[in-house]
A and B are shown apart, each in its own frame.
Chain A
Amino acid sequence: MSAASGSLPRYIAIRLLLVIPMMWVLLTMVFLLLRVAPGDPVSAAVGDKLAPDALDARRHALGLDRPLIVQYFDYLGDVVRFDFGRTISDGQPVLDLIKHQGGATLTLTVGAFLFALLIGIPLGRLAGRRRDTPTDAAIRIFGVITYAAPIFWVGLMLVLLVVKLAPDWPIDDIATPETKYYVPEKTGIILLDAILVSDWISVKDILQHHVLPCFTLGLLLSGVIIRLVRVNVIQTMKGDYVEAARARGIPERRVVSKHAFRNALVPVITVIGLQFALTLSGAILTERTFNWPGLGNSLVNYVTARDYIAVQGLVTFFAIAVVLVSLVVDIINALVDPRVRY
C-alpha cells in the first residue's frame, strides 16, 4: 500500500461524495416501487369514502395527475428540502411524525445496544477464553438461539414471564398515561423531556417501561456481538504480543483483560454500525410487540391504512438513515484502523 493512496482526508472526501449516488439510487428505488407500481394512492387510502370527483380533486391537490417524470423530480427536490410529504389518511406532515415518534425509536435502539453490549461482551469474552469447553458450547448455542428465535416471540415469552413474576411491571407503551400528560413535549424524546423538567418520578416510570423492550431487542443484537468478540479474543490470544506478555510472567487473567481483550473490541465498534439494518427491522417488530409509540409502529399502521404518501415518506427517511449510518461507520472505521483507505 503506497503512502500516496492512504490519506485520511482523501478517504473521507471520496466517501462523502459516494453518498450522493447511493442516496440517489435508494430514493429512485423507493419512488419506482411506490409510484410506478400499479395502484393509485388516493383511491387506495380513501377510495371507499369519497365520490369520484372528490377523489380527482385530491389527486390533483397531491400532484398525482402530472407526468411521472415531473413527480420524480418533485420528489427528489422535496427530499433534499426534508419535505417527506403529508399523509393522506390523517393529513399530517411526515416530518412532524418523525419528530414526534422518532424519539421513542431512538431511545429504544440505544437502550437495546446497551443491553446487547452488556450481554454480548462478557459472554463472548468468556466463550473465547474457554474455547471448546462446555461453557463455550453453551454460549454459542445461546447465540444461535437468539438469532433463530423471532424477536416478537422472545418478547411475548418475556411478557409471560414478567406477568407471572412481577404483575406490576409495565409491559407495554413508553410511559403511563399520567406521565405522558405531565411531561411537556420539547425535544420529542420523552426521557429527555422528563429529565429537562427534573420530573424524577416520570423518569423512573419511563425507564421502567424501557427495560423490557430494550432487553428484547438487545438479546437479538447480542448474538452477533457474542460471536464477534469470541472470534476476536481467540485471534488476539494467538498474537505475538500476547505471547510476549505471557513470557514476561504476567498472570493469565491480566493477559486476557489488558492485552488481548482491548484489541478484540476494536472490530466490535464497526460491526455495531453494520447491524443498523438488523436493528431497524428488529425495532419495527419490537415496537409492535410492546405497543411502543415509535416510527415502526406508525409505519405498520399506515401500511394497513394503505397510505402511500406516509409509507413513501417513512421509507425514504429510513433509506436516508441507512446511508448516513453507513457513512458514519466507514469514517469511524477509517479513523480507528489506518489500513482502511482508498
Chain B
Amino acid sequence: MAEHSHDWRFWRPVARWIARLFRTVWNTKGLARWIFLTGLALTFMFVIFALFAPWIAPYDFAQTSVDGVRFPKLGGPSSAHILGTNDQFYDIFSRVIWGARTALQVVLLSVVLSALIGVPLGLLSGFIGGWVDRIAVFLMDALYSFPSLLLAIVFSFLLRNAIGGGILAAALSLTAIYIPQYFRVVRNTTVSAREATYVEAARAIGAKPVTIMRKYLFGNVVQSVPVIGTLNAADALGTLAALGFLGLGIQPTEAAEWGYDLSRALDDVSAGRFAPAFWPGLAIVLLITALTLVGEGLNETLNPALRRRRIRQAVLPPRSDDSVADFMADTQTGTSASAWADPDGADGSKETPR
C-alpha cells in the first residue's frame, strides 16, 4: 500500500469510496440522516476554525499584547476582545479558535495511528488463529479493561520525559487507549469472514495468505473502521481535554488547548467569573457532540441491520380490472421498487427496513 501512497491510483478508490458513503447517507431515511447531517455541519464548522485559525482568530494563541499595549487581565467582553481575556492575559476567543486546531490535530493523529496499529493486528490475529490469537485477545482485553484516563496519564507521564509535552506526545499517549477497540472488531470480523466460501475458494485456487488478507479479508473488515474511528475521536477529544485539565497534556507554550484553559479557570469560577471557564468548555461539548452524532449516524447508515432507505414511491398504472390489479400487486412485492420509480414521488417515501 505504501508504495502507492503518492499515486493517484491509490487515491481514486478512496475518493470513490467516500463518494459512495455520501450517497448511502443521502439515501438514508429518517432521524439517522438528520443526526448525521447536523453532526457533519458542526464538525465542518470546527474544521474551518482549525484550518483558518490565523485568519479567524484576531490574535495569536499566546499573544498578550498588541502594538506594545498589554491586554487586560480577566477583562470583560469588549470590541477588542469579544469574549474577554483570561488570567494569563490571553484573548479567550482566539484561544477557543486556536484550540480547535490543536484538538483536531491531536485527535486525527491518534485515531489514524491507533487504526494503523489496531487493524493489521486484528487482521493478523484473526487470520492466524490458535494460541497467538488467544494471547493477543487476552492482552488486548487487559488493556481495554484498564481505565482509559489512567492509561493516558501513565503514557503522558512517560512520554513527557522522553519527547516533551507537544502535540505528538499527546497524540501518542491517546493512541494506546484505542488500539484494542479496532483490534477486537477487526479480529472478530476476520474470524467469521475467514470461513466464508469465497475465502475458501481463494485458498483452493492457491492464493497466498498475504493475498487472502489483502484482497479478500481487508475490504470486508475495514467497513466498521469509520464508525469506530469517529466515535473514538469523540472520546479521544474528551481524554485530551482531561489530560490538559490535569496539567498533563499539551504544554501551554506549545499550543492552545481547551482543557488547559479550563484548569486555569478553576479559581475564576470560585470567584464567580464566567467567561474563562464557559467558552472553552462549550467548544469541547460541541465538538464531542458533533463527532458522536457523525459516528452514530454513520453506524445507522453503514449498518444494514439498522438502515432505513428512502425509497421512491411506486406509482402503478391505472387498473382496468381486478385480475390485473392482483397481478400488479404481486409483481410489486416481488420486484425492486426502483423498477416502478417515479422521480416526482421521492417525498412520499415509505419505510422499508433492510
Q: Could you list which residues of chain A lie within 8 angstroms of chain B, going by C-beta atoms?
A: 21-22, 25-26, 29-30, 33-34, 37-39, 44, 144-145, 147-150, 152-153, 156-157, 159-160, 163-164, 171-172, 277-278, 280-281, 284-285, 288-289, 299-300, 303-304, 306, 311, 315, 318-319, 322-323, 326
A129 to B284, CA, bound (A): 32
Find out whether the CB atom of A156 lies under 8 angstroms from the CB atom of B285: no
B85 at interface by CB-CB < 8 Å:
no
A144 CB contact (under 8 Å) in B245, B247, B292: B292
B278 at interface by CB-CB < 8 Å:
yes
A229 to B265, CA, bound (A): 36
Interface flags, B212-256, vs A, CB<8A=1, else 0: 000000000000000000000010001001100111100000000
Find out whether the CB atom of A150 lies under 8 angstroms from the CB atom of B145: no
B149 CB contact (under 8 Å) in A147, A159, A281, A304: A281
Find out whether the CB atom of A153 lies under 8 angstroms from the CB atom of B281: yes
Cβ distance A136 to chain B, nearest Cβ, rounded Å: 13
Interface centre among B153, B262, B269 (most CB of A within 10 A): B269
A278 to B242, CA, bound (A): 13
Find out whether the CB atom of A150 lies under 8 angstroms from the CB atom of B147: no
Closest 6 CB pairs of A and B: A153-B281, A281-B149, A39-B161, A277-B147, A148-B288, A280-B147
Residues in chain A near residue B278, CB distance under 8 A: 157, 160
Knowing A29-B142, A39-B158, the reply to whether A160 touches B150 (Cβ < 8 A) is no
Residue of B nearest to A137 (CB): B31
A252 to B289, CA, bound (A): 36
Residue of B nearest to A39 (CB): B161
A152 CB contact (under 8 Å) in B148, B242, B270: B242
Residue of A nearest to B247 (CB): A304
B142 CB contact (under 8 Å) in A25, A280, A284, A315: A25
A18 to B140, CA, bound (A): 16
Cβ distance A254 to chain B, nearest Cβ, rounded Å: 33
Residues in chain A near residue B146, CB distance under 8 A: 26, 29, 277, 319, 322
A39 CB contact (under 8 Å) in B142, B162, B281, B289: B162
A299 CB contact (under 8 Å) in B153, B155, B265: B153
A37 CB contact (under 8 Å) in B142, B158, B242, B262: B158
Residues in chain A near residue B157, CB distance under 8 A: 303, 306, 311
Knowing A25-B138, A156-B266, A159-B270, the reply to whether A277 touches B277 (Cβ < 8 A) is no
A-B contact number at CB 8 A = 132
B262 CB contact (under 8 Å) in A34, A153, A278: A153
Find out whether the CB atom of B246 lies under 8 angstroms from the CB atom of A285: yes
Find out whether the CB atom of A288 lies under 8 angstroms from the CB atom of B245: yes
Cβ distance A135 to chain B, nearest Cβ, rounded Å: 17
B143 at interface by CB-CB < 8 Å:
yes
| Residues of B contacting A: mostly | helix
Q: Name 13 extra pairs, CB < 8 A, besides A150-B241, A150-B262, A281-B149.
A: A21-B138, A25-B142, A29-B146, A150-B259, A150-B285, A152-B262, A157-B281, A160-B277, A163-B269, A277-B148, A284-B150, A288-B245, A299-B153
B22 at interface by CB-CB < 8 Å:
no
Residue of A nearest to B148 (CB): A281
Knowing A21-B138, A322-B145, the reply to whether A300 touches B246 (Cβ < 8 A) is yes
Knowing A148-B288, A164-B272, A288-B246, the reply to whether A33 touches B262 (Cβ < 8 A) is no
Q: Would you mind naming 9 contact pairs between A and B with Cβ atoms under 8 Å apart?
A: A38-B162, A148-B288, A149-B281, A152-B242, A157-B281, A171-B270, A172-B270, A277-B146, A299-B153
Cβ distance B102 to chain A, nearest Cβ, rounded Å: 15
Q: Could you list which residues of chain B lie within 8 angstroms of chain A, going by C-beta atoms?
A: 138-139, 142-143, 145-150, 153-155, 157-158, 161-162, 234, 238, 241-242, 245-248, 259, 262-263, 265-266, 269-272, 274, 277-278, 281, 284-285, 288-289, 292
Find out whether the CB atom of B247 lies under 8 angstroms from the CB atom of A22: no
Find out whether the CB atom of A22 lies under 8 angstroms from the CB atom of B262: no
Cβ distance B245 to chain A, nearest Cβ, rounded Å: 5
Find out whether the CB atom of A281 lies under 8 angstroms from the CB atom of B277: no
Find out whether the CB atom of A285 lies under 8 angstroms from the CB atom of B245: yes
Find out whether the CB atom of A281 lies under 8 angstroms from the CB atom of B269: no
A21 to B246, CA, bound (A): 32
Find out whether the CB atom of B158 lies under 8 angstroms from the CB atom of A33: yes
A264 to B259, CA, bound (A): 38
Cβ distance B242 to chain A, nearest Cβ, rounded Å: 6
Residue of A nearest to B283 (CB): A153
Cβ distance B335 to chain A, nearest Cβ, rounded Å: 32
Find out whether the CB atom of A160 lies under 8 angstroms from the CB atom of B161: no
B147 CB contact (under 8 Å) in A38, A145, A322: A322
Find out whether the CB atom of A34 lies under 8 angstroms from the CB atom of B153: no
Cβ distance A208 to chain B, nearest Cβ, rounded Å: 16
Residues in chain B near residue A30, CB distance under 8 A: 154
Residue of B nearest to A304 (CB): B247
Residues in chain B near residue A318, CB distance under 8 A: 147, 150
Knowing A153-B281, A285-B242, the reply to whether A277 touches B145 (Cβ < 8 A) is yes
Residue of B nearest to A281 (CB): B149
Find out whether the CB atom of A303 lies under 8 angstroms from the CB atom of B161: no
Residues in chain B near residue A26, CB distance under 8 A: 142, 145-146
Residues in chain B near residue A288, CB distance under 8 A: 245-246, 263
Residues in chain A near residue B158, CB distance under 8 A: 33-34, 37, 39
A278 CB contact (under 8 Å) in B142, B147, B289: B147
